[in-house]
Amino acid sequence: MPEAAVEFLRVSKSYPLYDSPRARLKELMALNQRSFHTDYWALRDVSLQVYRGETFCIIGQNGCGKSTLLQICAGILEPSEGTANVNGRVSALLELGAGFNPEFTGRDNVYLNGAILGFSRKEMDIRFREIAAFAEIGQFIDRPVKTYSSGMMVRLAFSVAIHVDPEILLVDEALAVGDVYFRQRCVRKVHELRSRGITILFVSHATGDVKALGDRALWLDRGHVMAIGKTDQVVSKYLAAMEEKDARFRDWQIRDGGEASSENHDPVPAAVVEGIPNIDHRFGDGRAEVIGIGVLDAHGTRLSSLRINSTIIVRISVRAKENIERPIVGFMFRNHLGVDFAGTNTARERCDLAPLAPGQICTVDFHLDLPALYASLFSFSPAVADGTLESYTTCDWIDNAIVLPMEKAGDQIYGQLHFPCRVQVHGPRRNVERVGA
């Protein structure tokens, strides 16, 4: 059994809410014998274990308790109920610039943070060069922090957090204010820390980052644990709930009603594909459904594996249960980590589908030219929706309906894929030009 770096046992955290300052004063004068407040529970009965060396992501809407959970891990807050055990040196990147004195320079704040964590000045002298180099804020390192932009603040705060030898790193939405270049460097650094066995608790609204980084994930809603487990499964449940909530809001906002009735039942097209090999998770309002998906070669034969630099057909059949005015059919292509690798749909490809009446079936073929991808497992998640690219309602979405292996390439694949590449050499050479696969 792996050792737990962080362990919560039925942890709850409440905050008192007062109607007015007078109510707070009355409670103080009553020596807390009478209550003049109501309790707001930011966390309620949360139990979890984060294992040493694991990257554990926490997702949820604003106000669900994510930051409160990290603050308990950092020792800033104490639970109102339950027990929280944290085993290891903690470095926290929570609120932007938290722990920085705005009147001090960046350099002074680096040494101050080091002293708080128990490092001597000599030890921080050794680390300072790396901290300054990673932050890349130039001469601002010797200017007061109050003159920093939000981006400069997070650069310095993140750099300090990762260079003080943490055993447990807490990151709360820190990358949201960074530019693309800095975010990419931070993500690479997080991967490096993972490889060194650092335990990471990562809070983010960016589900792509969560899927790319997380070993497991926790979904919080109003302080309650909604799901905990494999990252892709938890994220899928969360996104499904958010889509359902958004659909309810649009229904409330528009209220156009006018549900047409039709009993047309077209004959099943010859090209229809039926059968769904796998369902990890499924969601939608049910007004239409995916009835089948197949991955075929250029001749229409089902494939059991994918081959690089080949043409495939992703065939998806859907059936309407109610009137679908603007049907959209598409799919998401994911890698073995559950990261959304690529995707498309009929609206994206400017292929407008005719309205579907109840019982009608529509089959769509997506002809794809596969690039040279690294050998791994890839999945296709089909979906049908009603609306436009800008505003739509998901009728049916199936996570990882079909999973196929990518055959190993003859040539080396560096990174995730190999770009189609035409090489031309100017100078001494054996061949004038060579076209890469």
Q: According to the model, what pLDDT value does residue 268 have?
A: 43
Mean pLDDT value across the chain: 84
pLDDT bin (cut points 50, 70, 90) of residue 260 is very low
In a domain, 413, yes or no: no
End residue of a domain, out of 209, 237, 265: 237
Instruction: Give the position of tokens 């770096």.
Output: 5
Residue range 411-420, pLDDT digits in tens: 777 777 888 7
What are the residues facing 378 on neighbouring strands?
404
Q: Which of 1-5, 143-147, 171-175, 386-390 has the lowest mean pLDDT?
A: 171-175
**For residue 102, what is the domain's CATH number?**
3.40.50.300
Q: List 240's β-bridge partners, or say none.
A: none
Which domain CATH number covers 324?
2.70.50.60
Residue 379 to residue 398: CA distance in whole angstroms:
11
pLDDT tier at 199 (50, 70, 90 boundaries)? very high
The more confidently predicted of residues 314 and 162 is 314
Instruction: Kindly state whether residues 73 and 126 are assigned to the same domain.
Output: yes
Check whether residue 355 and residue 401 sit in a common domain: yes
Confidence class for position 337, pLDDT limits 50, 70, 90: confident
**What is the rounded average pLDDT of the residues 110-129?**
88
Is residue 415 in a domain? no
Do 232 and 311 reside in the same domain of the chain?
A: no
Domain housing 108: 4-237
Q: What is the pLDDT of residue 264?
A: 45
Confidence of residue 251 (pLDDT cuts 50, 70, 90): low
Q: Please give the average per-residue pLDDT across 255-279, as a whole number.
A: 60
Say if residue 53 is in the same domain as residue 129: yes
- Give how many domains the chain has, as a whole number: 2
Q: What per-residue string of b and e applies to 250-289 under the rule 16 or more CB within 10 Å gives b?
A: eeeeeeeeeeeeeeeeeeeeeebbeebeeebbbbbbebbb
3-class secondary structure per residue, the chain: CCCEEEEEEEEEEEEEECCCHHHHHHHHHCCCCCCCCEEEEEEEEEEEEEECCCEEEEECCCCCCHHHHHHHHCCCCCCCEEEEEECCCEEEECCCCCCCCCCCEHHHHHHHHHHHCCCCHHHHHHHHHHHHHHHCCHHHHHCEHHHCCHHHHHHHHHHHHHCCCCCEEEEECHHHHCCHHHHHHHHHHHHHHHHCCCEEEEECCCHHHHHHHCCEEEEEECCEEEEEEEHHHHHHHHHHHHHHHHHHHHHHHHCCCCCCCCCCCCCCCCCCCCECCCCCEEECCCCEEEEEEEEEECCCCECCCECCCCEEEEEEEEEECCCECCEEEEEEEECCCCCEEEEEECCCCCCCCCCECCCCEEEEEEEEECCEECCCEEEEEEEEEEECCCCEEEEEEEECCEEEEECCCCCCCCCCEECCEEEECCCCCCCCEEEEC
Whose CA is closest to 224, among 75, 54, 37, 10? 10
At 191, the amino acid letter reads H
For residue 162, tell me if it sits in a domain.
Answer: yes
149 & 217 share domain:
yes
Does residue 319 sit within a domain? yes
The stretch 338-365 carries a mean pLDDT of 92
Q: Is residue 426 one of the residues assigned to a domain?
A: no
| Domain shared by 216 and 305, yes or no | no
CA distance 380 to 399: 8
pLDDT of residue 176: 57
Domain closes at, from 192, 211, 237: 237
In this structure, are 283 and 179 located in the same domain?
no
In a domain, 251, yes or no: no
Q: What pLDDT, in 10s, does the model give residues 34-72?
A: 888 888 899 999 999 999 999 999 999 888 899 899 999
Q: What is the pTM of this model?
A: 0.65
Same domain, yes or no, for 233 and 281?
no
Clarify whether residues 293 and 216 are in a common domain: no
Residue 209 lies in a domain: yes
Residues 183 and 40 reside in one and the same domain:
yes
Query: Same domain, yes or no, for 214 and 362?
Result: no
Query: Which of these three, 180, 210, 237, is where a domain ends?
Result: 237
CB neighbour list of residue 199: distance below 8 Å, 6 or more residues apart: 5, 6, 50, 51, 52, 53, 54, 55, 56, 88, 167, 168, 169
Structure tokens at 65: 């308790």
416 domain residue, yes or no: no
Q: Is the domain of 143 the same as that of 85?
A: yes
